[in-house]
Amino acid sequence: MSDCYVRILPESPEDNIDTTAVTAIIKYLSEYTVSDSIRCVESAAMMFVDCGGNLDRIVCPHCGGAVDFGWWGERMTEAHAGRFADLRVVMPCCAMQSSLNDLLYDFPCGFAKTMIEMRNPQIPVSEACLVQLRRMAKCNVRLIAARY
């Protein structure tokens, strides 16, 4: 049986969720739904927050072209070598500037230094819950549904 994770992180890698907000969000989520666990993952370096087995395809945000997984893997290896400090890429499909964070991952993925993770939550995050999370995080947030 696989596990489902709901991960909450800032929409922009420039933003972060401070310790006070993390504590408040964990308390809020533990009241919102029953989960096997809720934890915060923090790192001094940027982390790639992935969706596990849910990643089906990646699309260019400019032209809608399908992104080749081989090309993406090479860009990820290069960016990882620099601890994901520089996420800029030039798209091979349309030569437009983008960022590894802005590619359209299906399901979503992202980059962050702080994320909050629920394991096997019984209720999905509703629109109202998301509004509340954004308010508490004091920044736009991205939701990532991962499966392993």
Binding mask 74-93 for Zn ion (x = CB under 5 A): -----------------x-x
Q: How far apart are CA 52 and CA 124, in angstroms?
A: 18
**Closer residue to Zn ion in complex, CB, 2/70:** 70
Q: Return the half-sphere exposure (C-beta side, CA atoms, 13 A cut-off) of residue 68.
A: 7
Cβ at position 61, least distance to Zn ion in Å: 8
Residue entry with tokens 């907000």 = 21
65 near Zn ion (CB under 5 A): yes
**Closer residue to Zn ion in complex, CB, 91/145:** 91
**Closer residue to Zn ion in complex, CB, 40/93:** 93
What is the DSSP secondary-structure string of 47-69?
A: EEE--BTT--EEE-TTT-PBPPH
Residue 131 token pair? 């509004």
Can you tell me which of 6, 29, 49, 60 binds Zn ion, judged by CB under 5 A? 60
Cβ at position 137, least distance to Zn ion in Å: 30
Q: How far apart are CA 120 and CA 122, in angstroms?
A: 6
Name the site residues for Zn ion (rule: CB under 5 A). 60, 62-63, 65, 91, 93-94
